[in-house]
């Protein structure tokens, strides 16, 4: 007999026996039927990983479209990073340290911002912001983490469940981010990644005794979690989306992925079918049949309350930053090129000959630009940069 471990769905290959197998009278009938079936092959759940692949392709496509719309070479009068890329060049690092588009173009593509969501009720941004990235660095780190974690989960647990978890975690992350928005655009693409991390943690906790690679799983989880969360302190990346996605993924993982099918241990054959003991089989069988239904129900109720509560709060224009003074620092670390305080910016613009002088009304700083033909949206970008 040959058996393979490490997968939640498995069958047993039965080699040709020199003599008919004899079963003890108390041997479980369902296992006996499996053993008597000739040459059954192991069936892997989710051998293809097309769901994660489709989401990755969508993310890459949206980022390319964002950079096309951004067109730094034209809209920013050539004041760009990596100018050799032409239309695909990035905004200056002082404006976007992640090598990405400008604020106004992120907003145009569907990023979250407080007045758009709470005042203008543009709820469609809840569905577009999870597919946006703040820059090339953010895109590469986020997608590499999604591929690393998502393909593993999809192979182990199947396409349908991972697809549901990915989509709902992305939406839950966008909802959570909408409760902490400021007057700068924010993308919520990290919500789906942290939903996968929450699912991975759920799988580790509820099936701890059945795990075969605990240390590597924990190390991978901590590394991806911490590294991506640190990235969230940079401009335009929202850590509250990560928190919302993580909680959503953990609860959905408890609902959808709690059951692990019975895994038979590898045992040698000594003339009969198995020598591993009926008691171990019965213990595992009972654990599988019980399947923690109470935990499933509680997790489903908590997820429904979280999703429904956040949605109602967003629709009513509630912003938790008004009641929590330290919350912005969960999502931001002040630096010379940006700040974490939420404040309105206004600038005075003076045009003379081929120059434009812009002065921030809040701090008195000014800057002279060698051009005048720029859009109103670009003026707002430059004003935020000066202030």
Instruction: Please give the Cα distance from 341 to 183 (Å, whole number).
Output: 10
Name the residue with tokens 């993310």. 59
Q: What is the pTM of this model?
A: 0.80
Q: C-alpha angle 102/106/109, rounded to 5°?
A: 140
**What are residue 312's phi and psi, to 5 degrees?**
-65, -45
The region that residue 28 occupies, defined by phi over 0 for left and psi between -120 and 50 for alpha, beta otherwise, is beta
CA neighbours closer than 13 Å in the CB half-sphere of residue 194:
28
CA distance 94 to 3: 58
| Edge-to-edge order in the sheet of strand 347-352 | 347-352, 355-360, 366-369
Task: Report which of 104, 129, 105, 98 is spatially closest to residue 235, judged by C-alpha positions.
Answer: 98
Q: For each of the chain's 387 residues, which pLDDT tens digit applies?
A: 444 444 444 444 444 444 444 444 444 444 444 444 333 333 444 457 899 999 999 999 999 999 999 999 998 888 899 999 989 999 999 899 999 999 999 999 999 999 898 888 899 999 999 999 999 999 999 999 999 999 989 988 889 999 999 999 999 999 999 999 988 899 999 999 999 999 999 988 887 777 777 888 899 999 999 999 999 999 999 999 999 999 999 999 999 876 544 444 444 444 444 544 555 555 555 455 445 788 889 999 999 999 999 999 999 989 898 888 888 889 888 877 777 877 778 898 988 878 899 999 888 888 998 888 888 889 999 998 888
Task: Answer whether 252's CB lies under 8 Å from 303's CB.
Answer: yes
């Amino acid at each position: 007999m040959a058996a393979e471990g490490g997968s939640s769905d498995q069958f047993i290959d039965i080699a040709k026996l020199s003599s008919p197998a004899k079963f003890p009278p108390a041997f479980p009938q369902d296992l006996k039927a499996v053993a008597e079936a000739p040459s059954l092959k192991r069936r892997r759940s989710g051998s293809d990983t097309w769901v994660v692949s489709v989401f990755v392709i969508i993310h890459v496509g949206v980022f390319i479209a964002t950079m096309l719309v951004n067109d730094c070479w034209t809209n920013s009068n050539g004041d760009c990073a990596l100018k050799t890329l032409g239309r695909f060049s990035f905004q200056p690092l002082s404006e976007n340290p992640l090598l990405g588009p400008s604020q106004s173009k992120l907003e145009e593509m569907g990023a979250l911002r407080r007045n758009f969501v709470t005042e203008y009720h543009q709820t469609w941004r809840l569905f577009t912001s999870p597919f946006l990235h703040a820059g090339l660095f953010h895109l590469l780190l986020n997608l590499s983490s999604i591929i690393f974690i998502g393909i593993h989960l999809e192979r182990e647990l199947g396409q349908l469940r991972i697809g549901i978890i990915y989509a709902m975690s992305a939406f839950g992350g966008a909802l959570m981010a909408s409760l902490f928005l400021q007057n700068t655009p924010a993308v919520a693409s990290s919500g789906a990644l942290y939903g996968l991390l929450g699912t991975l943690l759920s799988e580790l906790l509820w099936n701890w005794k059945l795990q075969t690679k605990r240390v590597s799983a924990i190390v991978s989880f901590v590394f991806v979690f911490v590294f991506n969360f640190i990235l969230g302190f940079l401009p335009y990346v929202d850590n509250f989306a990560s928190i919302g996605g993580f909680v959503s993924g953990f609860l959905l993982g408890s609902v959808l992925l709690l059951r692990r099918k019975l895994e038979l241990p590898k045992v040698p054959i000594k003339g009969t079918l198995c020598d591993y003991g009926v008691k171990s089989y019965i213990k595992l069988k009972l654990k599988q049949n019980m399947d923690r239904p109470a935990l499933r129900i509680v997790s489903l109720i908590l997820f429904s309350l979280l999703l429904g509560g956040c949605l109602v709060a967003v629709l009513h224009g509630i912003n938790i930053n008004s009641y929590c003074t330290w919350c912005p620092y969960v999502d931001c670390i002040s630096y010379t090129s940006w700040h974490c305080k939420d404040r309105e910016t206004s600038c005075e613009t003076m045009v003379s000959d081929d120059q434009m002088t812009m002065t921030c009304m809040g701090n008195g700083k000014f800057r002279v630009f060698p051009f005048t033909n720029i859009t109103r949206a670009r003026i707002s970008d430059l004003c935020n940069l000066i202030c």
